[in-house]
Structure 1
Amino acid sequence: MNTMTMPRSVEAPGADASGPDVPRSTETHAPQRWSLGRWASRIGRFLAYSFIALLLGTVGFSLVISLLAAGAGTAIIWIGLAILVLGVVAARGFTMAERAIQSGLLGTELPTPAAKPAPAGAGRMRRLLTPLTDPQSWLDALWILVNFLLALVTFPLALAWTLGAIATVGGPISTLILEQVLPDSTGNGLAELLGFTGRNALTVDIGLQMLCGLFFLLTVGPLVRGFTAAHQAVARGLLSSRYEEQQQLLRTQESRAAGRTAESTALRRLERDLHDGPQQRLVRASMDLARVEALSVNDPERAQVVLRETREQLGLTLDDLRRLSRGIAPPVLVDRGLAAALTELAAISPIPTSIECPQLDLPDHVDIGIYYVVSEALTNAAKHSEADSVHVEITRIGDDARVRIEDDGRGGAEMRTGGGLAGLAGRVASLEGRLTVHSPEGAGTRIEAVIPCGS
């Protein structure tokens, strides 16, 4: 018996650890304790990075800006274009050094966008000038300028704050040493200006030095973290933003290609099923009706027998058409929603199926995608799983919709090329989603699809 179960509460994201593709944290991280070594290492790494950045920035700014200025000034002749190309190529070399330095000292990975290729069949001069038409080349040159100006500010400030923090201990010690070595020098500091004399002046000087040093000590950590974040943000925005755009474009192209492949496969499969099933039965029914027409006068009893056989054939044809239409969004999905459509699928499934589908207000293309996933999964379960029951669960996790179909059958399902699961994965990929199959031998099958709702 097929049942429909409406959950009392929607599953919270990450509540079920069995879903392999749902983003969640599986580890419990204890709060990190403050460590003098880690604190000093972070400051030391940034000082080293900013010093190297300042040196490279000075060289890069001088070289790249000079080349670009010279190239722009002489662009009216061919040599100016060559100098411009040399300038952007030099800028790309400095950005490669920046990526290596940030990776080694700051732990920041900066992906490199793919260079713009020369047009097919382009001549030598066109290929030479291609870097000038690549937007990333000019972003590299802009980064040379921005990072140099940023390093001019961050390195001196970070160094001054670090020395100020060291003075928390070094200042009082140096004052005590001077007081022992040069007694006459005491009382000439800020304490004297405040009206203190003798030993009181020494005590006040040490106290003020410790207070100033403590200020630098407490603020040097946040200051260095802020400077590090600023360098990382500038580098990521200018050097790697186009990489993310390229990856997004690549994912979109792959999704569209997967969609075209899935649709083409589905159409060929539908055409084959129609030809092998309903079409053959309809041809036979047409021939039987012609026989009935011929027998109706001379052999009415035989005509009645043929009519009954024709009616059976038409009934089987109707069943075939219903089966084939299960992969196509039915009117009930549009009129009454996803829950009603899935309930109808469960009602015609030969395996007892329960549906857990709250009202989630999903986009139409997501509703259709989920319906298709459930339809195919139930068909596969009926053919291969030998299961006693199937459970279908629909949830919303952030900006994604998740559908999970689990059966208690014999398992062993695999995503083979050209198979039903591979076609289903392609259909899900066309919606920029992902599909996973977990089917150990003898332990049932779990099919899970996660489809973004914003695409």
Structure 2
Amino acid sequence: MSGPPEAADRPSLLADGARAVRRALPAVKWLMVGFGIALLALGTLVVVVLTVVLCIVGVGILLLPVVFGLMRKVAELERRRLRAIGHAVQLPYDERPAGPRAVWRSLRDDPTSRRDLLWLAAYALVGFVTGLIALQLVVNGVQSVTLPAWWWLLPSGEATVVNGFVPVRTWPAAWMTSVMGIVWLALAVALSPFLLRAQTAPGRRWLPPDPSLDLSSRVAELTATRAAALNAHALELRRIERALHDGTQNKLVSVAVLAGAAQRALEHDPQRAAEILERVQTSAESALAELRAVVRSILPAVLENDGLDGALSALVAQSPVPATLSVTAGPAPVSVETAVYFTVAEALTNVARHSGATHAAVVVSRAGDRLHVGVEDDGHGGAVMHDGSGLAGIARRAEAHDGTLTVSSPVGGPTVVEVELPCGS
């Protein structure tokens, strides 16, 4: 007999609350980083306005290169933050103009410079306000929750909350303030993702390259990606063809030959025919096993049945080198999950064959529209990517999905293989 609904729902509520807190903590961190960048943007905006005023009398023209460089540095800090959060905001600058005249031409003719200036004006306000709200929620929450532990240590009337506006003089008031602190922290958890979305809106709007810019570099990149995808597809077809031709086909030919021999021997030597038929059965079973292996190498059944988490868990469990697994990514397109599966499989195979490691760690996470795969081992390092190597195969898979591969393997270890793949928003 099942318990009351309230008891059944309690674990679900606790799990939902824990997930909300886990989502809020990174959001609060990036809000605080954004608040710091907003302070820099606000100071830079003041300098820009003063420089414009001084340009009227001619003195500010000499300051244009310095102010222009400062504006670009602050904008690039925000681009780095956006990329770390998971927004693919690339650096659109070609080169930094030298001299006041070149800076003026850049502000007049280059849409990127004008977009940076628009972002600076918008973010100085939006970034500051959203960051201040998040800071107030967290600080007031922590201060209020912990108030009963320290308010009585202060002189009478000096214990205050809410930025000094609310004094606390009695124990009942201290405990009531502590309850309010829980409300503050709950608001911080609930509002932080929305505040972060609002804080990053100016950067997502103004800091990417202007649509009117020459897209030849992106076209070249996509052309290379398409070539890599076609090459990876051709190599995969060649691998499947070799597996079928050299393995399964040979065994099926052997089955046909043995079946013919058994048919001929059946009339004259039934005992010999029985032995041959037994070999026919063995060869047929072997061919079937190889055929199943080829099919699994195209799209592993475990990936379809158990999802990415279950498929990777099976890989880690079968690894000759003890390994741990952490998967915090949600569902992704099948092609991306397949690429992740084979990336981890190849990386763990490399660890077992070449690294001399005693332990490996596999981490799969998602930030925005990017899926990150990391495989680290404590081996002797010195891994080098060359044609025909497992790392080259991983690189081809990543390039085919417009992704990137990064390998860090100093002599002495550790070796870290990281792959980033776009997986949609």
Q: How does the TM-score come out when normalised to structure 2?
A: 0.49
Q: Which has the higher contact order (CA 8 A, sep 6+)?
A: 1
Q: How does the TM-score come out when normalised to structure 1?
A: 0.47
Bigger Rg over Cα: 1
